[in-house]
Amino acid sequence: MSTQSALPRAGMLALVALASPLAAQAPAPALSPATESRITALEDRVVAWRRDIHQHPELGNREVRTAALVAEHLRGLGIEVETKVAHTGVVGILRGGRPGPTVALRADMDALPVTERVDLPFASKATGIYNGQEVGVMHACGHDTHVAILMGVAEVLAGMRAELPGTVKFLFQPAEEGAPAGEEGGAELMVKEGVLENPVVDAVFGLHISSEDEVGGIYYTPRGAMASADDYRILVKGKQTHGASPWNGVDPVLTAAQIVTALHTIVGRNIDLTENAAVVTVGKITGGVRSNIVPEEVELVGTLRALSPEDRALIHRRVRTVAENVAESMGATVEVSIPYTTAYPVTYNDTALTRQAVAVLEGVAPGRVELVPPITGAEDFSFFAEKVPGFYFFLGGRPSSVAEEDAPDHHTPDFYVDEGGLGLGVRAMTALALDYLRSHGAPGR
């Protein structure tokens, strides 16, 4: 989950209305006994891969060792491999024995600038350079489990190559947590470099392990599952003057204060909160140098979140309108930049694909597939799902013995997940890929 993430989950909102038709789908048949046996035989290796990657974490766009491990594994399975995609990404192409669509499966590879505090025999002792400083490096968001799971899925599906009606693309993605300053990266760069082409991808699936959701469960949200995330900058320009005679200038501090107040009316008065949550946050205000000077400029920086493309566009328009009109009323001017440095689309689960996927997952984890509220964190899987139908879900990683309120958060030194859920992750992604290929028999576009 990106540094743009925010946990815990938001309120149920409009999902209640969708629960019945989605949950009412009859469970899909379980994986065949032969496929189940393959996965069971692999589980110990998946855990071993995860521990190795966890012990050797790498920051975004620097996942050299992880990429080499993945590429070697895929090549050993006879899968076509392309490396150095979006800097350190790896793409594997498994062509089935029969014609059919192309499905993509994604796993993110990067770790975070966090020093691990968990007492594990495979705990990270690694360090790296982040923003010019030496930092501890840790898989504090579970991307190590995602890589290990997808390596397992690749091995299972490669063993079924002859019977696959279509093609599977394995997207091992760097820099989900954001590229280093001055660099491009992540899913956005992978899309730009053409990973959804040649062959054209018809659908994409991804998962994220969750330290808060109980192990053994699968958790999903239809439509807007995670929010768009756009940062913004409002530069308020006034006229500098002596603090003893403010009437001789135009006060950007006072103007900025009025803008902040007005911005916080947008969510409550322009967004239908019975449908979706939204966020307008001011995270930083900078201006002035001393107590007796009315400064010339004040800078506001913050984040905007929405759970539908329409709400996202509306919030952008309203922020501009509010800032410009409040400034004009105070005699000031503004420069509004949206986005400023970050722009993630809504992580949108295609409705038809979600219905199909939920039925499949019920066959993999009967009674353990749960509809959950959306969250206002962001995920750059959204760049894939913006281009082709996508489905993104959460895999439980909280030990059953740990209460939800006691589970360590993502992006913290104490982050921990139960490895007992990794086999379910392999089963879920394998089943989703097989079902999609078998139920969409026509070749891809």
Rounded Cα–Cα distance for residues 252 and 238 (Å): 5
Catalytic residue of the set 130, 219, 220, 344: 344
Rounded Cα–Cα distance for residues 73 and 300 (Å): 48
- Cα 158 from chain centroid? 27
Helix or strand (DSSP H, E) at 435: helix 422-439
Give me the amino acid identity at 329: S
Locate tokens 């969250």: which residue? 375
Strands 98-108 and 203-214: parallel
List 230's β-bridge partners, or say none: 304, 343
Distant-in-sequence, close-in-space partners of 53: CB < 8 Å, separation ≥ 6: 66, 69, 139, 144, 147, 148
Q: Cα-flanking dihedrals φ and ψ of residue 77, to 5°? A: -90, 0
Tokens found for residue 394: 């959460």
Of 233, 281, 265, 262, the closest CA to residue 326 belongs to: 262
Catalytic residue of the set 214, 379, 419, 436: 419
Strands 165-173 and 98-108: parallel
Rounded Cα–Cα distance for residues 191 and 197 (Å): 9
Q: Is 344 tagged catalytic?
A: yes
The DSSP secondary-structure symbol of 223 reads E
Evaluate whether 129 touches 49 at the Cβ level (below 8 Å): no
The DSSP secondary-structure symbol of 444 reads P
Q: C-alpha angle with apex 275: 274 to 278, nearest 5 degrees?
A: 95
Locate tokens 């984890």: which residue? 365
Tokens found for residue 266: 């947008």
Tokens found for residue 53: 């990657």
Rounded Cα–Cα distance for residues 120 and 97 (Å): 43
Tokens found for residue 28: 């899909």
Evaluate whether 274 touches 322 at the Cβ level (below 8 Å): no
Active site residues: 344, 419
